[in-house]
Chain A
Amino acid sequence: MSAITDPMRRRWIAAAGALVGGHALAQVMPTAEDVPGIRALDEYRAGRPLKFGRLKLVVPRIADNGNAVSMRVVMENAPAGDAGVRSIRLFSETNPVPLMARFDFAVPPPRVEIESRIRLAGTQRVVAIAELGDGALEADVVSIIVTLAACLDGS
């Protein structure tokens, strides 16, 4: 019997592939349970649900130095006109000032894409939230390992 043509073997490979694929999908698509408890974030949300999948927060998974971590927030195919993005906020789980940045658009931007560099006090999760014209919140959560934290604790 040849193992190469064994149909069971193929089925196993397909199942393994599906598992790996499913895992990758789970990583790019966070849920509300991945959002850390940040008081400033909860106050801003005021009970409104967070939707995931449209907004993308792009940061390195490991940052050598928390003093400057490149950060990009993107939303592909964002709604135009009055339903468009009004503001984008960035929240940190462990920084002394949890609201790291807030971007307010007077008119929804033609392309929802903002890039900057953030400061991170240690390994943590970072949350980006975009508010749409109707008040709906689109969010993304990313975990970042910071090997050298920004010197924020005063020691």
Chain B
Amino acid sequence: MAFARIVVPPRVARGEAFEVRVSIRHPMETGFRVDDVGKSIPRNTLREVVVRYGDAIVLRASLGSGIAANPYLRFFVTARESGPLAVEWVDDAGEPGTVRADVNVA
């Protein structure tokens, strides 16, 4: 079960930029490592992380083995309406995940 956290400011002003921080617990297995008996460990990374604000996609992050385990992202979004900010992803093993926060636009 994926565990993730998202942080947005408690209140944001309309039209202003606000900071979003996302942390997802995931091994981001590169596929280049081998286990103790020399068997290759299959790749399992987050390929695409999509950030949705309300109905619109604001950011699409294509990650892979070049991103550290337990990916962390910090970025900025323009405050428009109060509503959900959702981060969704699927890993190479087909396991989906999502984390969301409510944006309060004053």
Contacts and interface: CB of A to CB of B under 8 A. Distances in A.
Interface of A: 67-69, 90, 92, 95-97, 99-107, 109-111, 113-119, 150-154
Interface in B19-60: 28, 30, 32-34, 40, 56-60
Given A67-B69, A119-B67, A152-B30, 18 more contacts: A69-B68, A96-B65, A97-B64, A97-B66, A100-B64, A100-B67, A107-B56, A109-B77, A109-B78, A110-B16, A111-B17, A115-B74, A116-B67, A117-B68, A117-B72, A118-B67, A118-B68, A151-B33
Given A68-B68, A101-B63, A110 B73 contact: no
B62 A102 contact: yes
B71 interface: yes
Interface residue tally of chain B, by bracket? 20 to 34
Nearest to B38: A154
A150 B65 CA distance: 11
B104 to A, nearest CB: 17
Contacts of B34: 154
Contacts of B78: 107, 109-110
B76 interface: yes
A114 B73 contact: yes
Contacts, number: 102
A113 B16 CA distance: 15
Contacts of A69: 68
Contacts of A116: 67-68, 71-74
Given A106-B56, A115-B73, A101 B67 contact: yes
A151 B34 CA distance: 10
Looking at chain B's contact residues, the main secondary structure is: strand
B61 interface: yes
A90 B54 CA distance: 28
Q: Which of A67, A95, A99, A110 has the most C-beta atoms of chain B within 10 angstroms of its own C-beta?
A: A110
A111 B76 contact: yes
B76 A104 contact: no
A92 B66 CA distance: 8
B58 A99 contact: no
B75 A104 contact: no
Contact of A95 (B16, B59, B66, B68): B66
Contacts of A100: 64, 66-67
Contact of B17 (A67, A110, A115): A110
